[in-house]
Amino acid sequence: MQGKTIRIGTRGSPLALAQAHEVRRRLMAAHGLPEEAIEISIIKVIGDQILDRPLAEVGGKGLFTKEIEDALLNGDIDLAVHSMKDMQTVLPGGLAVGAVLAREDVRDAFISLKYKSLTEVPAGATVGTSSLRRQAQLKHIRPDLNVVGFRGNVQTRLRKLEELVADATFLACAGLNRLGLKDRITCPIEIADMLPAVAQGAIGIEIRGGHAETAALLAPLNDEPTAIAVTAERAFLARLEGSCRTPIAGYARLDEGRLCFRGQVLSTDGVQSLETEIAGDPADAAAIGLTAAETLLAGGAARIMQASS
């Protein structure tokens, strides 16, 4: 790809653009490229255009990636930059994950203009979130709250707090950090209290499969510990056939040479919750995720997911 403009495809939200610019900066640093050698192309995706109803009513994770992946397959772009939690567990034929950047803070952020922590929020208060996972987890740990859904990008959801649409909300710490909005985090929620979405905090770079030159270009950007962890998490999600309609959480981390994984499936009303933990050799990341999923399925996760769909 020497001497050729590298074209990066991305959504047009402020966070998506911040992630695309991060990839461009890393490519420039890794290969000594000037900024003009890497072009960022904004592609409209259907998920950003549907704001009047929950995404669970419309479809799955492809809502935020399909149009970008089509552009990649058509050769209109060379790389696609995604939040990995938006990516389908089975990619379209002809595409592959070329690199995964080092993961940001995986925790969810509690944000409120009124209260310093979730424990301070009084019974009956309204908490807004667009995530079915967060809604279910919140209903499970605080069934006394009024949980409502609202859509929009990070800035839109922060503005809804100012407009008193809700007393509190949750966003990913990673996104707020990347946008320079760390100061808007009232209190991070520890993973022990709220397990994150699969691949939360990770940026994935998608390429056309079998394109050795592009793969070599991205090799210096790949963070192996993050890639291993995300492999386990995505295998877990794939086995459960999770989508935007099912509250599923999963997180893997390397600890003294072992890969430790924790997974959770909830009913949409938060009443039922199944969890499992497993550890093993990082080389067996996908198998660890699959085993965790099988454990939950044996414990009744299929029944919970069927009731949620």
102 neighbors 166 (Cβ within 8 angstroms): no
Name the token pair of 89. Answer: 């567990």
User: By C-alpha distance, which of 66, 74, 71 is closest to 92?
Assistant: 66
What lies within 8 Å, CB to CB, of 183 at 6+ separation is none
Separation of CA 46 from chain center: 17
Residue 110: name the closest of 99, 123, 119 by CA: 119
Measured distance CA(196)–CA(126) in Å, rounded? 21
Beta strands in the chain (DSSP E): 6-10, 38-42, 79-83, 95-100, 108-111, 126-128, 146-148, 168-172, 187-189, 203-208, 248-255, 258-266, 273-280
CB 85 within 8 A of CB 21: no
Cβ–Cβ < 8 Å for 118, 189: yes
Active-site residue, selected from the candidate residues 48, 86, 105, 108: 86
86 is catalytic: yes
**Active site (catalytic) residues:** 86
